[in-house]
């Protein structure tokens, strides 16, 4: 009986204690956001993180609000970041590959008049506004051709007293001829070997043609251009020398070159200038697909690959990426014009405050 009474009293006491205990309501529960803002508990091995190492959970930036949890961006933030990264790479690809697009534009214009290697454009009556070119003048007699290499070297015969050069499809210098060339302004035979030629093949080629000026191009496509000079205000003598001497032929036809087609393009509308909008990426892609990968700068090739331009793969951006590249091209176009017209320092000018001569490449080093 005593044990039963004790058990009953214990149950009564427990019931009273439960009844008197304060009840936690929903209003007293911390909100989820409040929980996340609580300072983490300090443990035995807790280490203080120096300022600037951790990234805050919320960042206000030029691309909008970025939200992270424990350093991990949420899905919306990750998308913003990737859109911005693609845009940045699009702008940098635009700025860094203008020279590639420029040669692509030249190639297209030249080939509209006839095939490579056998077509030479001449301004027999000098340059005029019908010709859309970059940096020409209306005093010299411009003459040009597109040299397309195959498996064997090509032989170019050049006239005397010109100012000429050859550039590869990446706008890299191959050689001068004429007044600044190894022919010492006398004209001569220039043999241009294709990308496959290694050191041993080049040595053999030079040995077989000791009187020729032998060079190797890292690309198949090459720009050949030269200026003739008026004599007593007359362009005819320079034009006549070019028509008489200039020829382009495979090495195997060196002594029997094909007939050249000389076209007077004075007064004829044509455009050699590359696109400044989204289509510039298409022009760049053409060159990447057509030329050996080894000819390109590895860093630029990686940059182009990041926006979808890669040799052997179709360049086909989806709607999101195309919209980003369209905007990147617009910003790129405005950027190059700002760099050229409104430089941020005297470094742009060769003679600051005195002349308008420019340090041509300094804008790329300091942009």
224-279 pLDDT, tens per residue? Answer: 999 999 999 999 999 999 999 999 999 999 999 999 999 999 999 999 999 999 99
Cα–Cα distance for residue pair 46/1, rounded to 1 Å: 58
Contact 67, 73 (CB under 8 A): yes
User: What average pLDDT does the segment 285-296 reach?
Assistant: 96
Question: Is residue 211 assigned to a domain?
Answer: yes
Would you place residue 357 in the very low, low, confident or very high pLDDT band (cuts 50, 70, 90)? Answer: confident
Within 10 angstroms of residue 67's Cβ, the number of other Cβ atoms is: 16
Question: Is residue 173 assigned to a domain?
Answer: yes
Domain span at residue 247 reads 113-271
Higher-confidence residue: 35 or 192? 192
Q: What is the pLDDT of residue 18?
A: 41
Strands (E), the chain: 58-61, 64-69, 72-73, 119-122, 131-132, 141-148, 154-158, 163-168, 173-178, 188-193, 213-216, 221-228, 247-250, 261-264, 270-271
Would you place residue 44 in the very low, low, confident or very high pLDDT band (cuts 50, 70, 90)? Answer: confident
Contact 241, 158 (CB under 8 A): no
Question: Is residue 138 assigned to a domain?
Answer: yes
The count of structural domains within the chain is 1
pLDDT at 154 over 80: yes
Q: What percent of the chain has pLDDT over 90?
A: 76
Which range, of 48-52, 140-144, 154-158, 253-257, averages the lowest pLDDT? 48-52
User: What average pLDDT does the segment 203-221 reach?
Assistant: 97
Backbone φ and ψ for 181, nearest 5 degrees, come out as: -95, 170
User: What average pLDDT does the segment 180-203 reach?
Assistant: 96
Question: Is residue 126 assigned to a domain?
Answer: yes
Question: Is residue 71 assigned to a domain?
Answer: no
Q: What is the pLDDT of residue 360?
A: 63
Cα–Cα distance for residue pair 171/297, rounded to 1 Å: 12
Would you place residue 314 in the very low, low, confident or very high pLDDT band (cuts 50, 70, 90)? Answer: very high
* Burial track 301-318 (b if 16+ CB lie within 10 A, e otherwise): bebbebbbbbbeeebebe
Which range, of 36-40, 102-106, 148-152, 289-293, averages the lowest pLDDT? 36-40
What are 85-132's pLDDT values in tens digits? 999 999 999 999 999 999 999 999 999 999 999 999 999 999 999 999
Residue 190: CATH number of its domain: 2.60.40.1610
Q: What is the pLDDT of residue 35?
A: 46
pLDDT at 46 over 50: yes
Q: What is the pLDDT of residue 38?
A: 64
Q: Is 353 left (phi over 0), alpha (psi -120 to 50) or beta?
A: left
Question: Is residue 261 assigned to a domain?
Answer: yes
Q: What is the pLDDT of residue 34?
A: 47
pTM, entire model: 0.82
Residues sharing a CB contact under 8 Å with residue 343, sequence separation 6 or more, in sequence order = 349, 363
User: What average pLDDT does the segment 155-160 reach?
Assistant: 97
């Amino acid at each position: 009986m005593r044990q039963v009474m004790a058990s009953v009293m214990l149950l009564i006491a427990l019931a009273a204690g439960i009844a008197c205990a304060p009840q936690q309501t929903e209003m007293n529960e911390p909100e989820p956001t409040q929980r996340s803002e609580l300072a983490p508990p300090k443990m035995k091995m807790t280490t203080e993180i120096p300022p600037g190492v951790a990234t805050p959970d919320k960042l206000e930036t030029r691309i909008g609000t970025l939200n992270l949890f424990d350093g991990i961006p949420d899905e919306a933030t990750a998308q913003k970041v990737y859109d911005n990264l693609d845009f940045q790479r699009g702008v940098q690809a635009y700025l860094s590959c203008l020279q590639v697009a420029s040669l692509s534009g030249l190639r297209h214009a030249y080939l509209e008049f006839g095939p490579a290697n056998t077509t030479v454009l001449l301004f027999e009556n000098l340059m005029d506004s019908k010709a859309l070119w970059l940096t020409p003048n209306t005093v010299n007699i411009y003459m040009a051709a597109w040299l397309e290499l195959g498996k064997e070297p090509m032989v170019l015969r050049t006239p005397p007293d010109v100012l000429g050069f050859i550039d590869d499809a990446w706008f890299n210098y191959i050689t001068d001829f004429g007044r600044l060339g190894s022919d010492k302004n006398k004209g001569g035979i220039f043999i241009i070997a294709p990308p496959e030629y290694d050191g041993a093949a080049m040595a053999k080629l030079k040995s077989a043609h000791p009187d020729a000026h032998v060079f190797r191009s890292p690309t198949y496509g090459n720009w050949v251009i030269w200026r003739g000079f008026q004599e007593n205000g007359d362009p005819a003598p320079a034009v006549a020398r070019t028509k008489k001497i200039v020829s382009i032929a495979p090495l195997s036809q060196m002594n029997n070159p094909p007939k050249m087609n000389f076209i007077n393009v004075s007064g004829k509308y044509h455009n050699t200038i590359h696109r400044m909008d989204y289509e510039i990426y298409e022009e760049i892609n053409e060159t990447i697909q057509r030329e050996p990968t080894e000819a390109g700068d590895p860093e630029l090739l990686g940059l182009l690959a990041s926006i979808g331009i890669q040799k052997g793969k179709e360049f086909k951006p989806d709607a999101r990426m195309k919209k980003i590249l369209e905007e990147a091209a617009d910003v790129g176009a405005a950027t190059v014009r700002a760099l050229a017209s409104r430089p941020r320092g005297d470094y742009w000018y060769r003679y600051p405050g005195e002349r308008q001569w420019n340090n041509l490449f300094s804008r790329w080093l300091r942009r």
